[in-house]
Amino acid sequence: MKRFFLILIVAAVVVAGIGVTAWHYAPVLAFNMIGKAIGGSVTVSKSSVSYKDGALRITLNGVRAKGAVEGSVENCVAELLLSKGIYIRRLAISDFDLSVRKDEGGFKFYPIPVELAEITKGVLSYGGRTYLVKEIKVSNFNTGKTLEFSIDGGVEGLGNIKTHGEGIFGSEKRSDLSKDVPDLLPKEEPWKK
């Protein structure tokens, strides 16, 4: 009987050790997978993982990417609801400067459900254009609820764009969106500031 309990305790310690190791190295594994997805590499200067209120919270600082996507993201926070599979409760990205190469095959897009995404203060270069992002908010993306979005930013050569709207984004690969007409103000070029 003592031998059985000793084996059980040793097995529990080994399983706990594997769990702690997996928890500690989860960000490294994720960065390797993202690096492969963009055909390059992703490095992070600081990361932390915590669990609170049923959500896994991953915080990244100083993200650098090379490959189909190149540049930097200074702050990124993702809260994942593990009880719903791959489901993001909140995604916040700020202070970024990214360039996305436009390949012949197009950009791969995976519609992961996101309750709230907040993207602020950044510059994105894609398809020969430079986009300034002051603030983008999207709620209920691919969650089955009404999608709401607001965009405040600018496009080099076109000026400022400010719009918001709502609609439905579903698995039928179509979307029904209603939106306000963008406010284009070509007088100001915010990307040059």
What are the tens digits of pLDDT across the range 179-189? 554 444 444 54
Average model confidence (pLDDT) across the chain: 76
Residue 95 above 70 pLDDT? yes
> Where residue 155 falls among pLDDT bands split at 50, 70, 90?
confident
The share of the chain scoring above pLDDT 70, in percent, equals 64
| Per-residue exposure over 58-90, b if at least 16 CB sit within 10 Å of its own CB, e if not | bbbeebebeebbbbebbbbbbbbbeeeeebbbb
Quote the pLDDT of residue 191.
46
> Where residue 47 falls among pLDDT bands split at 50, 70, 90?
confident
Quote the pLDDT of residue 183.
47
Least confident of 3-12, 51-60, 115-124, 145-154: 3-12
The share of the chain scoring above pLDDT 90, in percent, equals 16
> Residue 138: which residues within 8 A CB-CB, separation 6 or more?
114, 116, 117, 147, 148, 149
Least confident of 28-32, 111-115, 165-169: 28-32
User: How many Cβ atoms from other residues are within 10 Å of residue 182's Cβ?
Assistant: 14
Quote the pLDDT of residue 174.
47
Domains of the chain, by residue range, sit at 2-192
Give the distance from CA 11 to its chain's centroid. 37
Quote the pLDDT of residue 28.
63
Residue 130 above 60 pLDDT? yes
